[in-house]
Amino acid sequence: MAIPNFQFFMSPLLKLLADKKEYHLKEVVEILSNQLNFSEEEKKQRTAKGNRFVLYDRIHWARFYLIVAGLLERPKRGYLRITSEGLAVHSRNPDKIDTQYLMQYEEFKNFLLKSRTGSQEKDEKTSVVFKENTPEEIFETAYNELRKTITDELLITVKSCSSSFFERMVIDLLVVMGYGGSRKDAGQAIGKSGDEGIDGVIKEDKLGLDVIYIQAKRWDKGTIGRPEIQKFAGALQGQRAKKGIFITTSNFTTEAREYVKNIESRITLIDGNELAEFMLDNNIGVSPVATYTLHKIDNDYFSEI
């Protein structure tokens, strides 16, 4: 039989995790594959590009949407666990759990609306989309939606990591972006008592003519306000530094962004969404799985003049 789409796996996944145990995603895929009686041939079926297993891919997306809706959580990297809301849904035993069912959760609804910004209204038919857009526009819309989904998942993953890992990851990202040369030479962790709110320092260039001080805040909720930025600016003055980067998985208030425009020190603010974009663009925490090339007719080639 044909392997169902990812929404089919939401109910079985929630049912499996209803025992309140922690499961690794690979373990989940193996158990569900057996419970749902997929054949060995189906278990080995790969995506069109041949670089991923179809079952793993679809269960992966099912668990991500359940996490966004708040029915599942990540107790640690790579593992899943049901939440109290997930248990409540399981006890109600709905006939079907799919994206439409998850729309009752505000966080999921906001996520879906945000990830589809700029595309057609959700209630429009696919046929209408094809009528009103060129093939190139449809391809671009699909690419942007997938990119937005990946960056959202990437940010959720980053938030589940430890603070020390997050600080190292920030250094890795800045090195890949061209600051300071090698990881060994560029990143110097400070993070000790008396660091005055500075988590790291990195060379601005390979010659080390100037340095940039870093503050990395892995926050799950809330926003970074002006007081936090003022403390960081004070820490820079204590180091006689003029440049700093404040990176967070959260967001900055308008007051915080206005503050950095009016001080002598140059401080760049990078919020969670911007961080995920930078990570995706520089292959930090992600790996390319497919490349597509769009073509158009070269009319000059066919000219006989």
Number of H helices, E strands in the chain: 14, 10
Q: Is the pLDDT of residue 137 over 80?
A: no
Domains and CATH numbers, the chain: 6-115 (1.10.10.10), 135-305 (3.40.1350.10)
pLDDT digits (tens, 9 = 90+) for 284-298: 999 888 788 888 778
Strand 251-252 and strand 223-224: the pairing is parallel
CA dist 65 and 60 (Å) reads: 9
Q: Is the pLDDT of residue 134 over 90?
A: no
Q: Is the pLDDT of residue 129 over 70?
A: no
pLDDT digits (tens, 9 = 90+) for 15-74: 999 999 999 999 999 999 999 999 999 999 987 666 678 899 899 989 999 999 999 999
> Residue with structure tokens 């945000």?
114
Neighbours of 278 (CB within 10 A): 18
Per-residue model confidence (pLDDT) at position 304: 63
Per-residue model confidence (pLDDT) at position 132: 54
Backbone angles phi, psi at 13, to 5 degrees: -65, -45
pLDDT digits (tens, 9 = 90+) for 71-109: 999 998 889 999 999 999 999 999 999 999 999 999 898
CB 224 within 8 A of CB 246: yes
- Tell me the average pLDDT across 176-197: 58
